[in-house]
Every structure is written in structure tokens, then in C-alpha cells.
Structure 1
Amino acid sequence: MKKRQSKKTKRGIFVTLLREYIYFSLIVGVITFISLLFHNYLVKENVKQHLSDLTSKVVFNEVDYRDVEIENIELIGGWAEVLNEQKEVIYTLGNKKDKIRSYTELELLQHVDPLDNTSEYYYSITPFTKSNEQYFFLVKIPNDRFDFIPQINNASGKILKIALLTLLASCALFFVLFVVNVFFYAKRNAASIGKPLQLITSGLHKMRNGDLKTRLDFEADYEFEQIKNAFNYMAEERERVEKEKKEIEESKKRMLVDLSHDLKTPITTIQGYSKALYEDIIEDKAQFKKYLKYIHDKSIRVSTLIDELFVLSKLDDPSLPLQKEKLDIAEFSREVILEHLDLVEDKKFNLYVDIPEKEILYVFDKKLLYRAISNILTNAVKYNPEETNLYIRLKHYEKKIVIEIGDNGIGIPEELANVIFDPFIRGDKSRSGDGGTGLGLAITKKIIERHNGRLTLDINPERGKTNFIIHLPLVW
């Protein structure tokens, strides 16, 4: 399965969580800033609304301006002044904190906004007349006392209540925004972390229920990509193992059927001929000897079949030790060919041998490898017509040895090429009575595999129709 790559897969969970925590912290910072702005806005709005409690108009006493209660004003650092018609200070109530002795009309008008940060003081002016003279009652409060409401908590119980309500409203806003942030943060992480976990869990449940074709397909952080790839590999391996297990079971069943058939045929023949001989049905001496030969030949076939089954079962046992020797495999190959030379000449085959003259040392089981090569050579001679070209070639590479045995004979049908090394498979079904057991190539394949090699079949070689290739590694 092709793996999709993306920038996201290169990022680990640590980086993702770090990034998310940074986002979360930044958003919390923004929420805090918004809450403070909201708090400041409420403070200023309430200051404007309730400033009337401290204005000159409220605290001024028209009967006697010297007898004015300015205790609340003094608590927040303010004081009061009485100005004459020329805007000159003629009387002060409280602790005057500046040295201004007279004002202009413009100066008095520029300081009437308590939220004007450019002004140092807030002015509240109330004109009054006494003895037909024009006077002004001026209240001055530092502007910075309106920026933070707890500083005027002592001014009055009403202001304290406003401060507490403002603080609660700001905290409520912070809490709501924080909860919303947590919700979206959790939802975002659920998408990047929870979804892959959910898909992995679902895939495991499907695998447990026997759905071996289950595969995970999602994009996530590096760790989840590793889990996904490991899961898919595990699923593929399990599916492959189950498929091989099924094929082995089917092969065993087929092998038992074939074995029963291959044993039943000669045994039935033996039983029939032996019965005829036992009951003295055959009186002709030549016919009598012919029946005895049939019985002898069929018994040999049964014995051969049992022997090859025994060899095949032993080769399946990995604990069976090989009798390995370090020999010249080139010379060994020439000896095997020499021992089959009579068969080759009897069928008038054209033999082509390509084996290096130099010594090629290889560690192998001489008896088993002889049997493997002999099986291929015997089949080639046995099942092909006269004057067939037979090719035998040995190649020596840096890390392996390759032995090729091919011919241009009748060939092997393409539909049998993939199963030719299975037990009881023959190149031609019509050969079932030719004395062969159908186990030769299966044994050959097992022998090569016990040498950590490979046996393959090429049904379209350059110089013929059939080419068996033995690959033997030099290091194993």
C-alpha cells in the first residue's frame, strides 16, 4: 500500500502539543486583555454615572461655603476652592496640592472630563452669588484616581458596591471566554489526537473480529503515522500468514488425496495379480512370470513413493542437520552430469555444458544437492523427445552461485508453472502412470531452501522452453 506523505506527518506529538499550548496561552492572554479592557470600560462608565456624588454642585453649601463637607473628596486626594469673579482663589477647603492661584475661562473648561488622561485634575465647577457678587465653587480631583476603582473604595459605600459589581462582571466575562477557549481547544485536540486513536481502536476491533483486510488510512502526527504503518504491516503479515496457512491446509488435503490415489493404484494392481496367482488361475508359465514382474514393479513404486514422502517430511524439519562439506561445486556438477551421461546419450540428447574450469569452493550437503540436480536432469531426459537440446550452466558471482538446467523440449504448461514445485504435481497429467511420484521437484525445492537458496522456473528462456534456475548464496 502506497504511503501518503505530508508536512504534517513529519511533526511529532510533542511539537503539536507545544504549539497547541502556545496557542492556548496566547488566547488566554487575549482573553485577559479583553477582560481588563471590559473592566476599565465598566469602571469609567460607572465613574461617569456616579461622579455626581462628588461634584461641586452636590457638596456645595449655599449658606456658608466655608462649611462644606468634603471628606469623601479628600479621601481620594481632592480638595475644594472658592474663586471670585476674576477666577482667583480666595478660599481653600482641604489639602491643596498645586500652586495655582488663578484660572482662565479656557483652563476651567478643559478639565471637566474625568476620563481625559491628558489632564492632571478633574474640575467640577458650580457658580453662586453672594452679596451680589459672582463666585465659583471648584472641586479638584486627581484624574489617576478614576483609572482603578479600588482606590476610591473608601469614598462611599455606593462606590464600593460599584467596584465589586464591576470586578465580578469582568471576572464573569473572563470565565465565559476561558470556557469557550477550553472547549474549542479540546475539540481541536480531539480532532488531531482523538480521531487517530478512534480509528486505530476501530481497526483493532475489526482485526479481532476476523476482518484481515482492515487497513488504517489517515494523516496524523509522526507517532500516529508510525502506529498506522506498524498496524498495516501487521495486518498484511497476518493476512499473508492466514493465506499461507489456508494454502498449506489445502495442499495437505490435496496431498492426502493424491497420496491415496498414487498408493491405491499400484496396491490394487498387486492385489489383483497376487490373487490370480494365489488361486492358480494363471497356468501359462510366461504369463505367470509376467504377473510376478507386475507385482514386483508396483511394489518398487510403492516403496519409492514412501521413501520420497519420508525424505520430504524430513526436509520439512528445520532441526534436521545437513552433512555439509566444503567442496569444489564446479567439479561436483561435472560429476553429476557424468553419472547421467548414459541417460542423455540413450535419448540422443544434444548436451551443452558451461561450467568454469576454475575451482569454486562452496559449503553444501553433497548427497542432498546431488539428489536435487539429479531430479531435474532425470525429468528433463525422461519427459522430452529424442534429440532435445539440454543446457547446463554454472555461474559464479560475488555473493552467489547460479546453476541453470534447461531444455528446448515439450515445455511445461503455463498454468502449472506456479505449482510445479508442489507435491504430486506433474508437468503432464497423462504421466500419472509413468512411474513418477510427483514428489521429485518438491524435494528438490526443499533441498535448495535448506541451503538458503531459491529454485525458480523460467518457461520462456532464451535458448529453450524450460529453464530451472538454482540460486545458492555463498554466505549462509
Structure 2
Amino acid sequence: MKKSGYRTSFHIYIIFCLSLLVIFILASCFFFSLFSVQKGDGSTVVNNWVIDFTENFKSQIVFINNEPLITQTAMTQLQEERIGLQILNEQGQELYSYQKPTQAKISYSNIDFLKLYHFGYLENRETTAFIGTLSNNGTLYSYILYFPFKIAKVTMYLNGENFTYGKTIFLICMSTTLILIIISGLLYGFWITRNISKLTDSIKEIPNRTYLPLHKKGAFADIYESINALYEEIKNADQLCKETERLREEWIANITHDLKTPLSPIRGYAEILSEDGSVSIEQRKRYSQIILKNVEYTEKLLNDLKLTYQLESGMIPFNPSNGNIVRFLRETIIDILNTPEYENRIIHFESDYGEIICSFDSTLLMRAFKNLIINAFVHGNQNTEVTLQVKKSDSSLTIIVSDNGNGMSKEETAKLFNRYYRGTNTDQKTEGTGLGLAIAKGIIETHGGTISVSSTLGYGTTFEILLPAIKID
């Protein structure tokens, strides 16, 4: 076992022994309190002193003309101990008393006498009565001593003098119990240390990815289950990092290729225009248009990269203003359809409201919805149609963008908003940057909203945008 294991076991053992010592001290105090009483002068004595005092007091009672009296010594002793006295005849009637309590009777029945003998009190529990007997000239007398404290009579017979054998048994039992507790404490300490050592080894294996999930029972079951769950999350995070790194490398390769693609014709046609003087005006115009088209594509790639960085770092300019979002969405659709590339496409628009005034950044939000709609056309086919629905509630705005295109598998849907992911379910070459949907998601989240996607392969895809944070008038 390692040194740390021994230290742990030692600490557990020390705590255990200290706890046992405290319990032993408290038990001893409780045990002592049961078998001790405090006298009137404040001193503490073993409780059988009461019985001895009662038994010996008979010698202090004298008879003069058959009338009971007590000696001066007895009177002084009763005063010092604040003990009351009654002397009774055979019929239970009082013959003599000295500083008796106020609740004491002058005549006792047999039942009262038995109750007083067994319990030590009749009404007032602040005193405890003990009864003694003596005889004079063949006549039986009884005397009652009232001690000024409460005491359980059952403990009168459990003392060092009358319970010597019991004390021996008690000491043997206590010693045996103490030894068993110490041994069990040591075994428990080593058991705890062993399990903690295993837990420590398991935790050390996690960073090295060599941990094997363990399913334990008993006191440490929950800890092992938590470690298993933690390791599973770490494995998933590792897998996600690997996948993200793979997609990033793939994206870098694709973006590098996409940047080279427009640069090649730009350079080629620029060299022709600068070196070949026989180029006609029509050819010069056509070459210039090709160069401009590729420049625009390059600018789009760079803008997507810049916008992605701004969204990720929270540095994107966000300038919301109040406007009619229904009109805004209609204008966005018209702007897409006015593009020659998509002028023959069909986009349906459905809204039960002609006007919904809310706060949004029109420039950013137009970019988001254009990315969603154009993405459906790029990854669909020539017959793909897009439907845009607007729904309103008291506290939220829901915009649904759906298409009847090719749809996606669950694996593709799970990766759809990844910054480096490009859809593959298309027959044509995808010239996008792979950032369109990630940008759309970032813009919607900047507005305080959420976006979710559902898709069925062969039936189409649906995006649901919820904007709960937008104030709707």
C-alpha cells in the first residue's frame, strides 16, 4: 500500500478513536450520574449512601416514656443535610416530626405507605422518601426520611458494594466491545483506503485514456457510476474534437481549392488582356465579366470567413431596429427571385398577418434567410420548391422554412450547423463555403432565438426558427 494510503488509514483510525473516546466519556458521565447523588452540602456520593443513612438513622431515635425522640446529633445532621423526618406508629399515625415537607401526611394508609415505599413520593417529586423500621418494648415503629433530591430507587442496588460481580461483567463486556470496535475500525480503515486507492488509480487512467469502466456495488457504486459517466463524456468530447478537426482540415482543403478556382481564370484572363493586343472589344468585355464574376465569388468566400469569426467572437455589429418582419421576409424572397440564377424557382409565402412589428437587424437577418432558402435550392433539384411560413403568439415569433427537396439522413442533419460541414446530397458541385448554415444559426442566436432542423431523406427538410426574445407589438 502506498504512503498516502497509510496516511488515509491512520487519519480514519484517529478520527474513529477520538469519536470512541468521546462516546466513552459521555457514557461514563451518564453511568456515574445514574449511581450518584448530590448531598445538601453540595458533595457527591454514591447513591447507596441514602440507604445506609436510612438504615443507620434508627440508632439516633430514642424513647422517653415510650415517646420517640431524636438525639441532638441526629437533629444537627438532619439540618445540615436538609432532610425531613416523620416517626409513625403501627397504625401509620404521626408521633414525631422534624422539618418534614409540607405535603407530608399525618396519617398514612397501607396503600399510601406502599406507594411511598416503592416510588419514594406521593405528590411532590422534588423529594425522595425512604422508610425504616425499629421496635421498642415489642412495639413496631416506622420512620420516614425525606431527602431533598430526586433519585430513582431502582439504582439504589446497583453500586460498587452490592454489585461487585455485575461490575466485573460490565468491565469485561466494555473491554471486549472496545477491542472489537478497535479491530473493526482498523479493518474498515484499510477497506476504505483500498477503495480510495482504486478510485485514485481509476481517475489517473482517465487522462491517459486507459480507463476501463467498472460497475461496482456497495458504498462506492455511485462514485464509479459518476466516473464512468465522466469518462463517457470525455470519450464523446474526444470524438467530437477529432471529427471537428477532420472537418476543419477538409474545409481548409476545400476553401483553398475554392480560392484557387476563381484566381486561376482571373490571372489567366488578366494576362491575356495585358499581353495580347489583338483582343477584340467583345472578347475584352467577356473576359472582364468572367474576372468580375470570380472576384465576386472570392469576396463572398472572404466575407463568409470574416462573418464566421465575428459571430464566434461576439464582435459582429448588431444594429436592431423596429420594422415589419412580414414585409421584410417578402422583400427577401423577391430579392432572391430577382437573381437570374433563381428567377425560375418557386418560393411560397404564408402568413396570417400583414404586419408584425418587431426589433431585428435587417442586414443580418436577410443574410440568414437567404442562406437557408438558397441552401435548399443548391442541395435540391430543379423542381425543389421552398415554403416560408410566419406564425405569431403572444410572446414569440415562429418562422418555418421548408422544402420538398432531397432531404437528409440523420447523420447529415446532426452535422448540418457545423462550421466546416458541406452537404453531400447533391448532384452538382457544391461551390459554397460550408459556412452558410453555421452563419444563419449564429445570426439567429444573436437575435436571442433558436433554430432547429428536421429532415426525411427523399421528402425534404424543415427549419424552424423561434425568436422568443424579440418584442412583438
Q: Distance in 1 between matches of 2:359 and 2:232?
A: 36
Could you tell me the percent identity over the aligned residues? 24
Cα separation, partners in 2 of 1:272 and 1:376, compared to 1, 3 Å = same
Q: 2:387, 2:402 within 8 Å by CA — same for their partners in 1?
A: yes
Choose which of 429, 433, 439 in structure 2 pairs with 1:432. 429
Q: Distance in 1 between matches of 2:449 and 2:228?
A: 29
Q: Distance in 2 between matches of 1:170 and 1:277?
A: 115
What 5-or-longer segments of structure 2 have no aligned partner? 1-15, 29-160
1:28-427 maps to which residues of 2 (within 5 A)? 178-188=178-188, 191=191, 193-194=192-193, 197-211=196-210, 217-220=216-219, 225=222, 235=231, 238-280=234-276, 283=279, 286-320=282-316, 322-342=318-338, 347-357=343-353, 360-381=356-377, 384-386=380-382, 388-397=384-393, 400-412=396-408, 416-422=412-418, 423=420, 425-427=422-424
Partner of 1:11: none
What 5-or-longer segments of structure 1 have no aligned partner? 1-16, 30-144, 150-166
Partner of 1:473: 468
Q: 2:251, 2:434 within 8 Å by CA — same for their partners in 1?
A: no
> TM-score normalised to the size of structure 1?
0.53
Cα separation, partners in 2 of 1:266 and 1:424, compared to 1, 3 Å = farther
Q: Distance in 2 between matches of 1:190 and 1:473?
A: 57
Q: 1:412, 1:427 within 8 Å by CA — same for their partners in 2?
A: no
Q: Distance in 2 between matches of 1:258 and 1:345?
A: 23
For structure 1, which segment, 449-458 or 252-261, has the greater mean C-alpha deviation from structure 2 after superposition? Answer: 449-458
Q: Give the aligned length.
A: 318
Partner of 1:453: 449
Q: 2:337, 2:345 within 8 Å by CA — same for their partners in 1?
A: no
**Helix, strand or coil at the partner of 1:293:** helix
User: Larger Rg: 1 or 2?
Assistant: 1
Q: Distance in 1 between matches of 2:309 and 2:455?
A: 28
For structure 1, which segment, 335-344 or 388-397, has the greater mean C-alpha deviation from structure 2 after superposition? Answer: 335-344
Amino acid at match of 2:370: S
**Helix, strand or coil at the partner of 2:415:** coil
Q: Distance in 1 between matches of 2:341 and 2:294?
A: 27
Q: Distance in 1 between matches of 2:343 and 2:225?
A: 57
Q: 1:445, 1:455 within 8 Å by CA — same for their partners in 2?
A: yes
Partner of 1:117: none
Amino acid at match of 1:205: K
Cα separation, partners in 2 of 1:436 and 1:177, compared to 1, 3 Å = closer
Q: Distance in 2 between matches of 1:398 and 1:238?
A: 41
Deviation at 1:372, TM superposition (A): 0.3
> TM-score normalised to the size of structure 2?
0.54
Q: Distance in 2 between matches of 1:147 and 1:172?
A: 14
Deviation at 1:393, TM superposition (A): 0.9
Deviation at 1:370, TM superposition (A): 1.4
Cα separation, partners in 2 of 1:358 and 1:213, compared to 1, 3 Å = farther
Amino acid at match of 1:465: G
